[in-house]
Chain A
Amino acid sequence: MKKFFPISIASVLIGVYLVLSLVVFPSFYLSKEIPNPQPYFDVKISNLSILLGESFDVNIFSKNIGEYGDIHILSIGFPSLDKITDEIKLNNSDFNHQYNFIEKNTLVGSNYTAGDQKVETQYALIEVMNRPSPPNGSYDFQFSVTPKNTGLYEIYVKAIEIPHTSNLSHFPHQGMLDPQSEYVEVYSVIVNP
């Protein structure tokens, strides 16, 4: 009996450990809600009508109005461009990561899957991100555009938070779908001859 007592105690302790590690803690942590970050942005354009050869400024104030997020992504699309040229001049970025210029026909993530499903871009994009994305974190992104053609100059803007846990994890929540099957806000400036 004396011989088996210590090994019995050891077995009980290992049993307790396994119950805690495999049952109690997993159920406890899995019952907790996953953070729900929510992006939002406000766009200010200096002139909604310009003459060819003139420039207009775009200021985007992007923020996380929800809970803690891992990544805050701002994407700006230029449907009239195949790649970002000297037509676009970047003035300021508060994001903690370097912006990326993405050319037409580049594989990018779609359907809010953060790269799990990919499609080819149909036009040039600027993507910039902040990692991590704390609650109330706000970031400015400013650039100027000098269009090279007359007509309607459009810019598509969207923001996504990772993890993408609900419809509130992207902004806008509705409207036009871009080629990545993600909602975008459309802004336009008339370029007169």
Chain B
Amino acid sequence: MELDSKPIIQKSRRVFLLGNLLMSLGILLVTVGGSWDITNHVLNKPESFVSIPHGVMYSGVAMSLIGTVISFAIWHKIENKKSLKISLKLGVIGIIVLIGAGPIDFFWHSTFGLDGLLSPPHMSLIFGMILTSVGGMVGLVRYHVISKSKISKFLIIVGLLPIWLASSGLISSLSLPFSNTDFFNFNPEPVTALMVATLCYPFLISLILISASRLSKNKFGIISLTGGLFLAIYGSTAILPNVTMSETILFYSTNLIPLIVSDYIISKLNYKHAKYIGAGILGSTFYMFYYPYIMYTYNEVLLGKLVSPSLIYSIYFELIIQVFLITLIPAIIAAFAGCYFSKRVSDKIENL
């Protein structure tokens, strides 16, 4: 009886893994649609709720919902299910918040027309995304911890990437001046927005990438791959759709260099503070990582120029040295904090 029940338990864990995968990939789709939607608003200023980026986003929500339902349905059959309870809880709460955002978003568009980046439905959407993606990530990492297979390391990337993108969405909402509409002006105060961007982006980059490295036991390639996928998503949704900026993809691609260098330092060099060195390098490049829209935050305070889509890159490059010098120290300190916090997070997930 014991022998017969073993394959059933393993199968149920694999089904739970499938649920977690769908949760994370669904949120990844939402973030891709979200980033594309921002570009669509900047370029075309659409007047209708119905748009392709919104379609991509809500397909992602549907995928995450299916994933959460699968995880919920199979969870009670899993052996040693206690360690996965937090994954399921976060997933269920997240998906409820996420689904709740849909009708609120539709109502908001219908009542107030075009909405800004920071609005109650968008906040609900982003918090739902973060909770669901954290739920998915915990399930995926727990599977990796138990299975210890070579291929399961990639689950860490699938788990962390949507959290990175969703959290970036939160920071962008709190720092970009994209929220002044006919009915409400939710634009953040410019200096506060600058401080939010300068501290939160490097913290997040460091937290995600150093956590990826820790969870994979410092496997070389994990930081480069996670960061490379982030660059690919941002490049294809925020840079390439703007015809006047498509050439600047070459500049954006050079961000692979600090990723690979940090990856190498952390994985291959046996230095006592290798992770902090890597985190510092990664954090200091945040202005380049978040090209192009991050420029709006710094332009508000440093230049105050009127920006239209074809001027984005020129104003960005006009500011780049000034922003790099002003933000270097605080960005490195924030990245150190992210590195420190990543140890707490990865230890907690591994020892659930």
Contacts and interface: CB of A to CB of B under 8 A. Distances in A.
Check if A and B associate: yes
B175 to A, nearest CB: 21
Interface in B243-277: 243-244, 247-248, 250-251, 254, 257-258, 260-261, 264-265, 268-269, 271
A6 B270 CA distance: 11
A7 B269 contact: yes
B318 interface: yes
Nearest to B44: A131
B264 A21 contact: no
A171 interface: no
A116 B311 CA distance: 15
Contacts of B269: 6-7
A21 B251 contact: yes
Interface stretch (B49-57, B97-105, B229-237, B302-310): B302-310
B306 A68 contact: no
Contacts of B271: 7
B321 interface: yes
A132 to B, nearest CB: 6
A131 B310 CA distance: 12
A17 B309 CA distance: 26
B265 to A, nearest CB: 6
Interface of B, secondary structure class, is: helix
Interface in A13-50: 13-14, 16-17, 20-22, 25-26, 29-30, 34-35
A71 interface: yes
Given A10-B265, A20-B254, A114-B308, A26 B44 contact: no
Contacts of B347: none
A14 B251 CA distance: 14
A98 interface: yes
A13 B261 contact: yes
B247 to A, nearest CB: 8
Contacts of A69: 310
Contact of A21 (B260, B281, B311, B320): B320
Nearest to B250: A25
Contacts of B254: 17, 20-21, 25
Interface in B35-68: 43-45, 47
Nearest to A69: B310
B264 A30 contact: no
Contacts of B317: 25-26, 29-30
Interface string A145-161: 00000000000000000
B308 A70 contact: yes
Interface string A110-138: 00011110000000000000011000000
A25 B251 contact: yes
A162 B308 contact: yes
Contacts of A97: 45, 47
Interface in B278-314: 281, 285, 288, 306, 308-311, 313-314
B261 A29 contact: no
Contacts of B154: none
A35 B43 contact: no
Contact of A30 (B243, B288, B318): B318
A10 B320 CA distance: 23
Q: Which of B257, B308, B320 has the most C-beta atoms of chain A within 10 angstroms of its own C-beta?
A: B308
B308 A163 contact: yes
B108 interface: no
Given A20-B254, A96-B44, A131-B45, 13 more contacts: A6-B269, A10-B264, A13-B260, A21-B254, A21-B285, A26-B320, A68-B310, A69-B310, A70-B308, A70-B309, A115-B306, A131-B44, A163-B311
23 contacts: A7-B269, A13-B257, A13-B260, A17-B258, A17-B261, A17-B285, A25-B250, A25-B254, A25-B317, A26-B320, A29-B313, A30-B314, A30-B318, A34-B310, A34-B314, A68-B310, A71-B308, A97-B47, A114-B306, A116-B306, A132-B309, A162-B308, A163-B311
